[in-house]
Amino acid sequence: MSEPASRAEKLDAVDQLAAKRSEFVLDDVVYLDGNSLGALPAAVPGRVEDVVRRQWGELRIRSWDESGWWTAPERIGDRIAPLVGAAPGQIVVGDSTSVNVFKALVAAVRMAGEGRDEVLVDATTFPTDGYIAESAARLTGRTLRPVTPAEVPSALNDRTAAVLLNHVDYRTGRLHDLPALTAAIRGAGAVSVWDLCHSAGALPVGLDEHGVDLAVGCTYKYLNGGPGSPAYLYVRQGLQDRFDSPLPGWNSHAEPFGMRASYEPGSGALRGRVGTPDILSMLALEAALEVWDGVPVEAVRAKSLALTDFFLECVAEYVPEGRVESLTPLAHAERGSQVALRCDDAGDVMRRLIDRGVVGDFRAPDVLRFGFTPLYVGFADVERAARVLAEVLG
């Protein structure tokens, strides 16, 4: 047994989260793509069958009340809240991340007021966030200014209305300084909007603690909600009565069944609701979130850092020098839960890795991404992935 393999065995033996692996549907593949689509929690199929056969099939329309369908967006939001450091009553689940980015950004501009005519957006953001930021700025008559997260403090001024940032860079896995950036945005009198897609469920976020104004995120990555599972929107308690949604649907009306001709927003986070919730996906997500029962996010973060440290060490041990370059910061304070390796023939390398049972993903033109989901990835998985990568690279 190699030295890294021996270390992996010892690390797995003392892993406090190891038992969580049995709560997922897994095979002998090393699955390192949970930063794109989380593995299936074992409780989900049975729950979905009950939703379809009994709640829909037998109770039918009665399930809006008797099965709690109507309150699901807020109820499931409260399940997510501890994972992102939020008190109850501030998160509503529904729609896609893209739609929630639009709602949050337009509402942020409206809250900032007419005197502020510039919106800052993360220049390295996932493309959709950039597209939506451009559209939101155009619709609200603001100017969009792309800047890197590091440039935000110096770019802020009394014209800044809102700032849209990613907590973790989707390409490199770089973790941005949410506390310091949020404080700078607040100090400039602007409204902060954070995209948590690559951090929620992987590391502590601290939305309430750090005074974040608005946040959005998906649930199909580290939260394992399933393909296309509904996203969520966080509205800080102190801003809820000022949250003016650009998509005022009947589900967020103060009297949703009053069928009024004029719109009057309800109270609380439900102002972020729009139309009828996607119940099948919503309740699959609710079942998926049960794997988090009794799991401190801090323990997940500790294992995440240990996994990514070990992977980088194994890569250095096994892979020929100069064959790959890590784009992911070594400093723990700057690292999410993925490792991105630059490799000239990355697309072909990833195809060969997948053929050999190591699943990550490829980002053009030359990036191999490996996501480490601490609830079901072990240290032996990490050692195997690095060893197979070395064999593929020759």
Give the separation between CA 185 and CA 236, rounded to whole angstroms.
15
| Strand runs labelled E in 179-311 | 191-195, 214-217, 232-235
Helix 379-393 and helix 297-318: axis angle, to 10°? Answer: 30
Has 220 been annotated as catalytic? yes
Burial of 107 (0-12, 13-18, 19+ CB in 10 A): buried
Any idea how long the chain is?
394
Would you say 80 and 125 are in contact if contact means Cβ atoms under 8 Å apart? no
Has 356 been annotated as catalytic? no
Distances in whole angstroms, Cα of residue 198 to Cα of each of 105, 172, 270, 303: 19, 11, 24, 16
| Given the residues 24, 31, 102, 220, the one annotated as active site | 220
Phi-psi region of 385 (alpha: psi -120 to 50; beta: other; left: phi over 0): alpha
Nearest partner of 231 among 94, 109, 41, judged by Cα: 94
| Given the residues 33, 129, 195, 278, the one annotated as active site | 195
Give the separation between CA 18 and CA 9, rounded to whole angstroms.
12
Give me the DSSP letters along 224-243.
Answer: ---TT---EEEE-GGGGGG-
| Given the residues 31, 102, 126, 232, the one annotated as active site | 126
Phi-psi region of 89 (alpha: psi -120 to 50; beta: other; left: phi over 0): left
DSSP secondary-structure letter at 250?
A: G
- Residue 129 is which amino acid? D
Give the separation between CA 202 and CA 327, rounded to whole angstroms.
19
| Given the residues 20, 142, 174, 221, the one annotated as active site | 221
Phi, psi of 161 (to 5 degrees): -90, -50
Token couple for 138: 């155009």
Distances in whole angstroms, Cα of residue 76 to Cα of each of 107, 156, 306: 23, 35, 30
The residues carrying an active-site annotation are 126, 195, 220-221, 369
